[in-house]
Amino acid sequence: MEPNYWTRWNKKRISRRAVLGGGATVALGGAAAAIAGCGGGDDGGATTGPTRTPATDPVAGGSITLGRPVTVLGIDPHQDLTGLDIDQRVYPYLYSWIPGSETMIFNNMATDIERPDDTTFIFPLRRGVTNAPYGAVGENEELTSADVKASFNRRGTSISAPDKRFPRYIAGSSDPSALEPALETPDDFTFRFTMAEPFVPALREMANPTWAIVHRDVIEEFGSGRLAQSAYGAGPFMLEEFRGNERVVLRKNPNYFIQDRPYLDGQTIVVITENSSLISAFEQGQHDVNGAVLDKEDFDEFSENPDYTVARAPSLFYPVVHMKMIRPPFDQIRVRQAIDMAINREELIAVIWKGEGEYNGPIQWPQIKWALPDDELRAHQVYDPDGAKQLLAEAGFPDGFATTMKLPQISGVSFIADMATVLAAQWAQVGINVQLDEVELGSYIGSTLLTGNFDMTFFPNLPYDEPDRPLSFYHSLGVTGSGNWTNYANPDLDELINLQARQTVESERQETIYAAQRLILEEYGPQLTLPGGYAYSARWNYVHFPWEIDGDPQPDSNPPFVDMWTENA
Can you tell me the distance from the alpha carbon of 339 to that of 52, in angstroms, rounded to the nearest whole number?
A: 44
What's the chain's Rg over C-alpha atoms? 23
Residue 17 pLDDT > 80, yes or no? no
Q: What are phi and psi of 141, to 5 degrees?
A: -95, 140
The pLDDT, as a whole number, for residue 136 is 84
Name the E strands within 255-366. 266-271, 308-314, 318-323
Residue 373 pLDDT > 60, yes or no? yes
The pLDDT, as a whole number, for residue 81 is 85
Question: Reduced to 3 states, what is the DSSP secondary structure of residue 445?
Answer: helix
| Winning range, highest mean pLDDT, from 4-13, 135-144, 153-162, 425-434 | 425-434
- The predicted model scores a pTM of 0.88
Question: Mean pLDDT, to the nearest integer, of 221-229?
Answer: 91
Domains of the chain (ranges plus CATH)?
Answer: 5-313+534-566 (3.40.190.10), 318-529 (3.10.105.10)
Beta bridge partners, 322, equal: 457, 527
Residue 374 pLDDT > 60, yes or no? yes
Measure Cα distances from 486 to 368, 388, 455, 480, 526 in Å: 27, 23, 8, 13, 7
Angle 515-519-522 (CA atoms, 0-180°, nearest 5)?
A: 140
Beta bridge partners, 527, equal: 322
Percentage of the residues of the chain whose pLDDT score is greater than 90: 78
The pLDDT, as a whole number, for residue 7 is 53
Name the E strands within 410-559. 432-440, 456-461, 527-529, 534-540, 543-544
